[in-house]
C-alpha cells in the first residue's frame, strides 16, 4: 500500500489527531533530523531544524533513537529538551541497566572484521554495542558492499542490516528501535507514539505495536510506514505542522510568539 503524504490534506487530519492526544514524538537522527553527509562527524541538524525541534519539545514529549552511540547523538542535540536520547539502535536507552553481554559479543567480532580495514574508503566504527561499517567514501560501492557482507555474514550471533552506504552489525537478541520505543512509552505512560525515520534500520520501529503513526523520510522500497515525507528538508515542515496543530489545541499558546522566542534563543 502506498504511503500517505503526511503534509497532504489527509495527513493534516492525522496531525490534528496527534495534537489532541498525549503523543510521544520519536525521531531518527541521520537522514531525519540531520542531513546525510560524507563525513559522519559533520552531521548536525540545520539551525532551523534545531530551533523547530526545541519548540516542538516544549509542546510534545520528544525523543531521538539513533544508530549512533548515545553520547555521540546527545552531544549533537545539546540544549534540546528531549525526554530521552537512545543510542545503538536501542541498546543504549539512557535508563535502566545496560546488557554488557552485548558488548562482549561485539568485542569478539573485532578481529574478524579487521580484514576490512584494507578496503579503500571503508571505515569500521565500534560503538560498543554494535559495529558500523561505512563505505560512503569507497571508490566502488558495489564491490565494498559485497566484501563487507561476505565478512560480516561469517560472524556468529550477528544481525546484519544494510543502510545508506553503511552496514550495521548488531548482536542477535539486542533491542531494536521498536523495542526501545515500546519501553519508553511504558516508562512515560504515553498512549500514542509517532516515529519518523529514513532507513532500513527504522523498519522495526515502523512495525512496533506502540507506533500508531509511522512516517518514512524519502522513498523506500517495501516500507512498513503508512505515511511519508518527500525529503529530509521536509522534516522542518512536519515540525512546523505539529507545532501549529498543538497551538490550535491550546488557546493559551501564541504560535508566532512561541516560534520567535525559540528561534531567537541562544
CATH of the domain at 164: 3.30.70.1020
Q: Are residues 91 and 21 in the same domain?
A: yes
Position 164 confidence tier, pLDDT thresholds 50, 70, 90: confident
| Rounded average pLDDT over 176-196 | 92
pLDDT at 192 (0 to 100): 78
Q: Are residues 211 and 130 in the same domain?
A: no
Is residue 114 exposed (0-12), middle (13-18) or buried (19+ Cβ within 10 Å)? exposed
Q: Are residues 25 and 119 in the same domain?
A: no
Range from 27-31, 37-41, 42-46, 70-74 carrying the lowest mean pLDDT: 37-41
pLDDT at 92 (0 to 100): 92
Domain termination site, one of 146, 171, 196? 171
Q: What share of the chain in percent tops pLDDT 70?
A: 92
Domain termination site, one of 113, 142, 171? 171
Mean pLDDT of the chain: 89
User: For residue 94, is pLDDT > 50?
Assistant: yes
* Phi and psi angles of residue 92, each rounded to the nearest 5 degrees, phi first: -120, 80
Domain count, the chain: 2
| Rounded average pLDDT over 53-66 | 95
pLDDT at 266 (0 to 100): 43
What would you report as the CA-atom Rg of the chain, rounded to the nearest whole angstrom?
19
pLDDT at 98 (0 to 100): 83
The answer to whether residues 133 and 169 touch, using CB atoms and an 8 Å cutoff, is yes
22/185: higher pLDDT? 185
Q: Are residues 16 and 74 in the same domain?
A: yes
| Rounded average pLDDT over 150-158 | 92
Q: Are residues 64 and 187 in the same domain?
A: yes
Domain termination site, one of 137, 171, 205? 171
| Rounded average pLDDT over 50-64 | 95
Q: Are residues 90 and 115 in the same domain?
A: no
- Show the domain range for 134: 100-171
User: For residue 57, is pLDDT > 90?
Assistant: yes
Q: Are residues 256 and 132 in the same domain?
A: no
CATH label of the domain that carries residue 255: 3.40.50.1000
pLDDT at 65 (0 to 100): 97
User: For residue 253, is pLDDT > 60?
Assistant: no
Q: Are residues 208 and 161 in the same domain?
A: no
Position 259 confidence tier, pLDDT thresholds 50, 70, 90: low
pLDDT at 170 (0 to 100): 92
Q: Are residues 147 and 189 in the same domain?
A: no
Q: Pinpoint the alpha helices (H) of the chain.
A: 9-20, 47-59, 70-76, 100-113, 141-152, 177-188, 203-206, 234-249, 255-264
| Catalytic-role residue among 21, 28, 38, 41 | 28
pLDDT at 72 (0 to 100): 95
Q: Are residues 161 and 73 in the same domain?
A: no
User: For residue 137, is pLDDT > 60?
Assistant: yes
Q: List the grid coordinates of 207.
A: 512495525
118 classed as catalytic: no
> Cα(243)–Cα(260) distance, rounded to whole angstroms?
13
pLDDT at 115 (0 to 100): 86
User: For residue 224, is pLDDT > 60?
Assistant: yes
Position 264 confidence tier, pLDDT thresholds 50, 70, 90: very low
User: For residue 152, is pLDDT > 60?
Assistant: yes
pLDDT at 169 (0 to 100): 94
Q: Are residues 209 and 225 in the same domain?
A: yes
Q: Are residues 195 and 135 in the same domain?
A: no
Amino acid at each position: 500500500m502506498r504511503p500517505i503524504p503526511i503534509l497532504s490534506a489527509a495527513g493534516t487530519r492525522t496531525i490534528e489527531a496527534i495534537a489532541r492526544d498525549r503523543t510521544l514524538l520519536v525521531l531518527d537522527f541521520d537522514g531525519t533530523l540531520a542531513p546525510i553527509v560524507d563525513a559522519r562527524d559533520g552531521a548536525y541538524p540545520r539551525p532551523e531544524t534545531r530551533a523547530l525541534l526545541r519548540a516542538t519539545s516544549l509542546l510534545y514529549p520528544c525523543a531521538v533513537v539513533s544508530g549512533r552511540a548515545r553520547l555521540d547523538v546527545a552531544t549533537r542535540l545539546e540544549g534540546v529538551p528531549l525526554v530521552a536520547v537512545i543510542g545503538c539502535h536501542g541498546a543504549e536507552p539512557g535508563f535502566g541497566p545496560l546488557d554488557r553481554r552485548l558488548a562482549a559479543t561485539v568485542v569478539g567480532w573485532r578481529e574478524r572484521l579487521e580484514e576490512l580495514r584494507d578496503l579503500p574508503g571503508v571505515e569500521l566504527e565500534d560503538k560498543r554495542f554494535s559495529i558500523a561499517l561505512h563505505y560512503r567514501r569507497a571508490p566502488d560501492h558495489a564491490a565494498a558492499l559485497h566484501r563487507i557482507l561476505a565478512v560480516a555474514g561469517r560472524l556468529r550471533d550477528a544481525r546484519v542490516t544494510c543502510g545508506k552506504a553503511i552496514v550495521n552489525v548488531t548482536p542477535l537478541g539486542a533491542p531494536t528501535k521498536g523495542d526501545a520505543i515500546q519501553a519508553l512509552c511504558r516508562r512515560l505512560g504515553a498512549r500514542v507514539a509517532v516515529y519518523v525515520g529514513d532507513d532500513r534500520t527504522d523498519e522495526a520501529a515502523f512495525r512496533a505495536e506502540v507506533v500508531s503513526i509511522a512516517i518514512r523520510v524519502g522513498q523506500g522500497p517495501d516500507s512498513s510506514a503508512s505515511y511519508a515525507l518527500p525529503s529530509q528538508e521536509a522534516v522542518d515542515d512536519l515540525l512546523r505542522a505539529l507545532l501549529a496543530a498543538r497551538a490550535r489545541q491550546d488557546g493559551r499558546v501564541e504560535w508566532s510568539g512561541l516560534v520567535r522566542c525559540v528561534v531567537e534563543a541562544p
